[in-house]
Amino acid sequence: MIDLSQVNQSLTHYLSFRYFIDAEYQSDGGMVHISDESGQIIASDLVVLSGQFSHWKGALVPLPQAALGNRIYIEFQFLSDFLEASSGGLYVDDIGIELAPER
């Protein structure tokens, strides 16, 4: 659980993470969902990750306004159909919440 109850809600907050993906493009992939502490979905499919890359990539995704002021759960989900199911899948690391510098 991530506590965002005290954050400045007038500033954009970002979910940051690094990922490696090896998945059949479009039919298999990863998704990120955000829910509040009671399990209510705040944002489903906040990010959709698919494809095959030879290196780790960084992701920086703005959190929905409804996530601010709450304690939230971040769920990484990977779905695959039965075709070409021997790919490497999805790896995630260095998950964090970041505040972008003011512009």
- List residues near Ca ion by CB under 5 A: 24, 27-28, 80-81, 83-84
Residue recorded with tokens 């039965």? 82
* Cβ nearer to Ca ion, comparing 39 with 82: 82
* Cβ nearer to Ca ion, comparing 81 with 102: 81
Give the separation between CA 55 and CA 22, rounded to whole angstroms: 10
* Cβ nearer to Ca ion, comparing 1 with 85: 85
Shortest Å distance, C-beta 48 to Ca ion: 15
